[in-house]
Homo-oligomer: A and B are copies of this chain.
């Protein structure tokens, strides 16, 4: 009887381990295109708010995964949305947080000149999976920097729902 109980615990432990394997296989460490599409649909939120946005999603390797430009939004925001997303992944922080320390006198002044051009005002945010692992980033451009950052944050949460 004791050995049977032991066996059950053992089997349960095995099951847990296998499950943990399965979960890992599902989430991987890179954003999927299904998840990226979910993030793009954040534009519905922007539509409701009446903000015209460009939304870029990049993967863990900082390569473009998905993009949408809302009708009537700035053409110049295509590149800015992509660069905000890359900036957020390059340094694993919100683009605006980097901007706080890249000002004249800041500890990384003019860091924007690296990596083919960074954008360090708000609107870029890393995307994390449910374990907190960074699997990509979103960049939003077209509204005010507050609107851009807010919609980027909505986007990062989209894949957790």
- A125 in the interface (beta carbon within 8 A): no
A127, chain B: closest CB distance, angstroms: 15
A62, chain B: closest CB distance, angstroms: 5
Considering only CB atoms, which chain B residue lies closest to A1 in the complex?
A: B3
Considering only CB atoms, which chain B residue lies closest to A105 in the complex?
A: B103
A4-23 vs B, CB cutoff 8 Å, 1 = contact: the mask equals 10110011011001101100
- Number of copies of this kind of chain in the complex: 4
Chain A, interface size category, equals 35 or more
B62 pairs with A64, CB closer than 8 A? no
Also in contact, A90 and B74, with CB within 8 A (given A7-B3, A11-B10): yes
Which residues of B sit under 8 angstroms from A119, Cβ to Cβ? Answer: 110-111, 113-114
Which residue of B21, B28, B66 contacts A68 across the interface (Cβ within 8 Å)?
B66
Interface hub of A29, A60, A76, A115 (most chain B Cβ within 10 A): A76
Which residues of B sit under 8 angstroms from A87, Cβ to Cβ? Answer: 76
Considering only CB atoms, which chain B residue lies closest to A113 in the complex?
A: B117
Which residues of B sit under 8 angstroms from A10, Cβ to Cβ? Answer: 7, 10-11, 14
* B-binding residues in A (CB < 8 A): 3-4, 6-7, 10-11, 13-14, 17-18, 20-21, 24, 28-30, 32-33, 36-37, 40, 43, 59-71, 74-80, 83, 86-87, 89-92, 99, 102-105, 107-121, 144-145
